[in-house]
Amino acid sequence: MTSAGTFYIAGGGTGGHLYPGIAIAEALVAQRPNLDVMFLGAQRGIERTVLPTTRWRHQLLDLHPLYRSEPWQNWRTVRGLASAYGSIDALARRSTPLGVLGTGGYAAGALLGYARLNGLPYFLQEQNAYAGLTVRLFSPGARATFLGFPEAVQTLPASGRPQSLVTGNPITPPPSPLTDRAEARRRWGFPPETGHVLLIFGGSQGSRAINDAIGAWITNGLPVGWGAIWVTGSNEHVRFAHLNGGRIRVVGYQNPMSDAYAAAELAVSRAGAMSTAELCAWGIPMILIPLPTAAADHQSQNADALVGAGAARVVRQSALSAGELADALTAIASNTALLVEMGRAARGRARTDAAQVIAQHILSSLNLT
- Let me know whether 34 and 131 are in one domain: yes
- Let me know whether 213 and 144 are in one domain: no
- Let me know whether 62 and 114 are in one domain: yes
Residue-level pLDDT at 204:
66
Q: Is the pLDDT of residue 52 over 60?
A: yes
Residue-level pLDDT at 234:
87
- 197 contacts 226 by C-beta, under 8 angstroms: yes
Does any domain span residue 1? Answer: no
Of 190, 200, 192, nearest to 227 by C-alpha is: 190
Three-state SS letters, 284-331: CCEEECCCCCCHHHHHHHHHHHHHHCCCEEECCHHHHHHCHHHHHHHH
Q: Would you place residue 83 in the very low, low, confident or very high pLDDT band (cuts 50, 70, 90)?
A: low
Q: Which amino acid is at 57?
A: R
Q: Is the pLDDT of residue 119 over 70?
A: yes
Q: How far from 115 is each of 43, 119, 124, 172, 188, CA to CA, in Å? A: 21, 6, 12, 29, 49
Q: Is the pLDDT of residue 105 over 90?
A: no
Does any domain span residue 176? Answer: no
- Let me know whether 11 and 155 are in one domain: yes
pTM of the full predicted structure?
0.91
Residue-level pLDDT at 360:
98
Convert the pLDDT of each residue in 200-258 to its tens digit: 998 767 899 999 999 999 888 888 999 999 999 988 999 999 999 999 999 999 988 99
Q: Is the pLDDT of residue 127 over 90?
A: yes
Q: Is the pLDDT of residue 285 over 80?
A: yes
- Let me know whether 41 and 188 are in one domain: no
- Let me know whether 218 and 342 are in one domain: yes
Q: Is the pLDDT of residue 308 over 50?
A: yes
- Let me know whether 252 and 143 are in one domain: no
Q: Which CATH number goes with the domain that contains 207?
A: 3.40.50.2000
- The mean pLDDT value of the chain amounts to 91
d(CA 279, CA 281): 5
Residue-level pLDDT at 358:
98
Does any domain span residue 336? Answer: yes
- Let me know whether 357 and 342 are in one domain: no
Q: Is the pLDDT of residue 2 over 50?
A: no
Q: What burial letters (b/e) apply to 120-133, b meaning 16+ CB within 10 Å?
A: bbbbbbbbbbbbbe
Provide the number of structural domains found in the chain. Answer: 2
Q: Would you place residue 76 in the very low, low, confident or very high pLDDT band (cuts 50, 70, 90)?
A: low
- Let me know whether 215 and 359 are in one domain: no
d(CA 252, CA 174): 23
Convert the pLDDT of each residue in 157-182 to its tens digit: 999 999 999 999 999 999 989 889 99
- Let me know whether 148 and 220 are in one domain: no
Residue-level pLDDT at 155:
97
Q: Which domain holds residue 51?
A: 6-171+352-365
- Let me know whether 344 and 361 are in one domain: no
- Let me know whether 164 and 267 are in one domain: no
